[in-house]
Amino acid sequence: MSKKKTPSNSGGSASRRDSKPAIGGELHQAAGGDHPPLTTNQGVALSDNQNSLKANPLGPTLLEDFILREKVTSFDHERIPERIVHARGTGAHGFFELSASLKKYTTARILTEVGEKTPVFTRISTVAGGAGSVDTPRDVRGFAVKFYTKEGNWDLVGNNVPVFFIQDAIKFPDLIHAVKMEPDRAFPQSATAHDTFWDFISLTPESMHMVMWIMSDRTIPRSLRMIEGFGVHSFRLINDRGGSTFVKFHWRPKLGLQSTIWDETVKISGADQDFHRRDMFEAISSGNFPEWEFAVQLFTEEEADKFPFDHLDPTKLIPEELVPLKVIGRMVLDRWPDNFFAETEQVAYCPANIVPGIDFSNDPLLQGRLFSYLDTQLSRLGSPNFHQIPINAPKCPFGNQQRDGHMQMGQPSGRVSYEPNTLSDSSPRETPASGFRSLAATETGGKGRVRAESFADHYSQARQFYLSQTAYEQAHIASALVFELSKVEHVHVREAIVGHLRHIEEDLAKRVAAGLGFNKLPTKPEAAAPVDERKPSPALQIIGKMKDTLMGRAIGILIADGSDGAVIKRIKKAATDAGASVKIVAPKVGGAKLADGSILTADGQLAGMPSVIFDAVAVILSDEGRKELSNESAAIDFVRDAFGHLKAIAVDTGGEALLKKAGVGHDAGVVDAGDKDSFIAAAKTRQWSREKFVRTLA
């Protein structure tokens, strides 16, 4: 494997027990008090709760690790039957189509047969909230794709963020326990803004890169159709000669990236708790099928050895400038499930589900996931036969000698249920020539609970990510940190996080410290490894990557009695021609009587269809309509929020009067309703220069 350096005594950021900062030892002692020993459920005291047992510092995790298995098994079975994480999900059927063959690198037919369309089922979900939580919290989104290939099911189970909080799977239960509702009070739901989460993070500096991502606008997406997806881990591709190439998988949305403003996100959750699910449902129902490009980063072990980081560390990404993306296909979601429970709820993804030509790396987080996902399905779906549920079953033939068990739906015939045998000519047999083979990798080194020294740099990529953002996005990260830490009761936790921020960027730490009312900057903790300067990566932005389009976006037109139908018609046509959907909003759901006496039916009533659910708005009002709405708080909020959320606003004379009543100013994003072209141009983006006039950011 790459990056073979001397191991630490007990690993990485969190458990280094030498002279460097640690989550065990020094930091635990700093919390004060004597602690009882941490033991297994059998009473065996643990010497190391930070690292799983590995064949060597960069080797695979060992099945004999009874401590890991007990801890993860207990965690896997905490919820019945709801998923412990990713409980709130939205799923859809579709297909994957390959456009460029990877035959040089792999024998996996799904990656070699150009033009072949493979059925898929994709589920996108929040991590922290329960099944009944809202769609729009600040949270990572799971991005899981089940490919029903000719050679068996392949599950690519990732997130909309390319890195993760922790380096070793043994810490996953601790992470999720910290982020979930605090157990003595059962709140907050689906939120990181509380003490237990930030206390854990303050003691786990390896998480700081992920913190930059979750505090960025990536975790408050405008639509599930406008997020990226990442496989997170390095995998291997195996070719017909047994050669191995490392690969990272990426999904890129056809509609481009777009996120919301935090204040907007909060209000959306009140206006429509199912905002993302409804958006996906309506897009598929209308034939505007969500689509993503599928891309790979390919690199050899020799190339990996030259990276200034360890690609097996799941808290690290490979910048596109270092290893460019190669687009090899696309995924289209074109069918909503017939039954939400039977499909979206019962679908079971397991990272261990791969096909010949694909193999695993020694990423220690991935190694633990290979055990955990299968184990948790046994509890959630109640049986080892969950693969027989239609949404989980392969679409290619499958068979073996596994028998019986709870919920067995098959009826195997004959007297043979073992292999090898001489009593049946038709029972399944192994196929050495074409069956799955693992890479014959050589592993050397001493077995132990260790973390490689190459995992020790926790701040360099976090700094690179922050410095890669636009000034607007940096302000949003700083403001998000102030908001989150302002919810933390314990001052020492706030101070510890700001201390970590000083390693990432001193100005960021100062902005957050000022927002928290600190008189001085907290002490910077000792870093386990030097912080390196990395070139900014524009690919890590959102604003810089937004597409100049209205495709997939929504325009709201506010009307009332007496509105000019001709103006409404022109704006609606211009918006739909540009690819947007248009909805008419009126004081009453029945609609309004226009100036020509006709009735225009509304898509929604004003109080139930606020401007937060649109990307841009038009306000077309007669003098009569303006008078009707001037004393209506929902109308005032409609235009005030649109302006505050940096959206384009088209107004006629009546609309202009409503803006004045609401105290809304003017800039390039507020245009005359008669100038439809200027409105469409302004609606394709946010009016970022407006933000400093409408809110105070850190």
Contact 208, 458 (CB under 8 A): yes
- Which position among 51, 56, 153, 159 bears the catalytic label? 159
Rounded CA-CA distance 588/602 in Å is 8
What are the beta bridge partners of residue 97? 117, 330
| Cα separations in angstroms, 415 against 119, 418, 474 | 35, 9, 67
Rounded CA-CA distance 233/312 in Å is 7
Tokens of 565: 């139908």
User: Quick one: 114 exposed, middle or buried, by C-beta within 10 A (0-12, 13-18, 19+)?
Assistant: middle
Rounded CA-CA distance 197/19 in Å is 26
3-state secondary structure of 618: strand
Rounded CA-CA distance 201/207 in Å is 6
**Count of CB atoms situated within 10 Å of the CB of 109:** 17
Rounded CA-CA distance 169/191 in Å is 22
What are the beta bridge partners of residue 618? 557, 650
| Cα separations in angstroms, 1 against 9, 60, 306, 448 | 19, 10, 12, 17
Contact 283, 289 (CB under 8 A): yes
**Three-class secondary structure assignment of 303-324:** HHCCCCCCCCCCCCCCCCCCCC
What are the beta bridge partners of residue 327? 295
3-state secondary structure of 584: strand
Rounded CA-CA distance 490/670 in Å is 44
Closest CA to 323 of 299, 293, 302: 299
Rounded CA-CA distance 474/497 in Å is 17
| Cα separations in angstroms, 427 against 355, 396, 484 | 21, 17, 59
Contact 309, 336 (CB under 8 A): no
What are the beta bridge partners of residue 670? 649
Residue showing tokens 């926790």: 458
Whether 86 is catalytic: yes
Contact 89, 224 (CB under 8 A): no
| Cα separations in angstroms, 471 against 127, 491, 666 | 28, 28, 23
Whether 194 is catalytic: no
φ/ψ of residue 218, rounded to 5: -60, -30
Contact 220, 136 (CB under 8 A): yes
CA dihedral 84, 90, 96, 100 (to 10 degrees): -70
The b-or-e profile of 367-401 (16+ CB within 10 A means b, else e) is: bbbbbbbbbbbbebbeebbbbebebbebeeeeeee
**Three-class secondary structure assignment of 376-394:** HHHHHCCCCCHHHCCCCCC
Pairing of strands 554-558, 670-672: unpaired
Rounded CA-CA distance 330/316 in Å is 25
Q: How many CA atoms lie within 13 A of 556 on its CB side?
A: 23
- Which position among 51, 86, 458, 645 bears the catalytic label? 86
Residues annotated catalytic, as ranges:
86, 159
